[in-house]
Amino acid sequence: MAADVALAQALAYARDLRALYEVSRAREEEANRAHDKLRAAYQQALAYAVDLRKSHRQMQRSVLQSLLGLANALEAKDEYTRGHSERVAGLAQRLALAAGLGIAEAKTIAEAGLLHDLGKIGVPEHILRKQGPLTDEEWIAMRRHPLTGAQIVAPLEFFADAALIVRHHHERHDGSGYPDGLKGDGIPVGARIVAIADVYDALTSERPYRRKLARAEAVQIMRDDAGLTLEPRLTELFLDLVIDAPADRSV
Ligand SMILES: [Fe+2]
């Protein structure tokens, strides 16, 4: 008799256990289904984020293209500066590659070269076109252009390195430049490169206040400035490129 009771209790216990097992298995399956749904939603969100990032980048690239067009239009108005930024960009890119920088970095430096003087859009026309020497006040307005240019390109996240180059393209090796008076290696390498290309193109172009210099004269002036206002190692490298270039082109 006692054995029957024990058997009945054991059977009841086994049934309870089985019911518990089934409940827990159903819960586990439900959890798995929820997990799968969550994973699918996460993957969809990820794909959406990638698409969004891609179109955001495309949009920023088109803003850059518009800025390049604007810089071009700004320069084209003045016969003395026409084509200046394009030449600076080409020279800077060649110098960057000769200095051993990577292709992507050289491209960024070239793009910064194209936009280095964009901030002149904020300088009054009568100052930009003035034939004689500038007054102190006019110089202050003129010296604001690297900061204005950097501010214009600041919203372009992928262009942050180039924005730094735009900001610092008038810094000088000996610290006498602007806007921050940076010195030597404290100046971003791209800004040192654009500065060298900028000086060379300015010297070898006609200006309202002086004639265009011959290549040999420009080379001599820059050689004298190497180690003072211009970074010596990059200047020497640049002058080697200039001297070796065929007579019909700068570098
Ligand atoms: Fe400039």
Bridge partner list, 72: none
Task: Note whether residue 8 is domain-resident.
Answer: yes
Plot region of 78 (φ>0 → left; ψ -120 to 50 → alpha; else → beta): beta
Q: Report the number of distinct structural domains present in the chain.
A: 2
Same domain, 6 and 110: no
Same domain, 49 and 100: no
Answer for the pair 217, 226: CB distance below 8 angstroms, yes or no.
no
Task: Note whether residue 224 is domain-resident.
Answer: yes
Cα 98 from chain centroid (whole Å):
20
Task: Note whether residue 71 is domain-resident.
Answer: no
Quote the DSSP letter at residue 84.
H
**Number of C-alpha atoms within 13 angstroms, CB side, residue 200?**
33
Same domain, 51 and 101: no
Same domain, 203 and 122: yes
Same domain, 95 and 149: yes
User: What is the predicted pLDDT for the residue at 3?
Assistant: 80
CA of 146 from ligand 1 middle (Å) equals: 6
pLDDT in tens, 153-165: 999 999 999 999 9
SS3 70: helix
Task: Note whether residue 103 is domain-resident.
Answer: yes
pLDDT, average across residues 33-39: 94
Task: Evaluate the omega torsion of the peptide bond into residue 146 and state whether it is cis, within 30 degrees of 0.
Answer: no
The CATH number of whichever domain residue 202 belongs to comes to 1.10.3210.10
Same domain, 47 and 128: no
pLDDT, average across residues 27-53: 94
Judged against a pLDDT cut of 90, whether residue 245 lies above it is answered with no
Same domain, 189 and 99: yes
Same domain, 148 and 209: yes
Range of the domain at 108: 77-244
CA of 142 from ligand 1 middle (Å) equals: 9
What's the CA gap between 143 and 131, in Å, rounded?
Answer: 17
Same domain, 114 and 225: yes
Same domain, 123 and 208: yes
Task: Note whether residue 147 is domain-resident.
Answer: yes
Same domain, 44 and 98: no
Task: Note whether residue 88 is domain-resident.
Answer: yes
Residue 208, both tokens:
């309202």
Active-site residues: which are they?
A: 120
Judged against a pLDDT cut of 60, whether residue 226 lies above it is answered with yes
Task: Note whether residue 5 is domain-resident.
Answer: yes
Instruction: Give the ranges where the chain is alpha helix by DSSP (H).
Output: 2-76, 84-98, 103-115, 125-128, 136-142, 145-153, 160-168, 189-203, 215-225, 232-244
Answer for the pair 188, 167: CB distance below 8 angstroms, yes or no.
no
User: What is the predicted pLDDT for the residue at 164?
Assistant: 98
Same domain, 8 and 97: no
Cα three-residue angle 67-73-78, rounded to 5 degrees: 135
Task: Note whether residue 65 is domain-resident.
Answer: no
pLDDT in tens, 58-94: 999 999 999 999 998 888 888 778 899 999 999 999 9
Radius of gyration of the chain (CA): 33
- For 119-152, the DSSP string reads GGGGS-HHHHT-SSPPPHHHHHHHTTHHHHHHHH
pLDDT, average across residues 21-48: 93
160-168 helix and 189-203 helix, angle to the nearest 10 degrees: 50
CA of 227 from ligand 1 middle (Å) equals: 20
CA of 58 from ligand 1 middle (Å) equals: 28
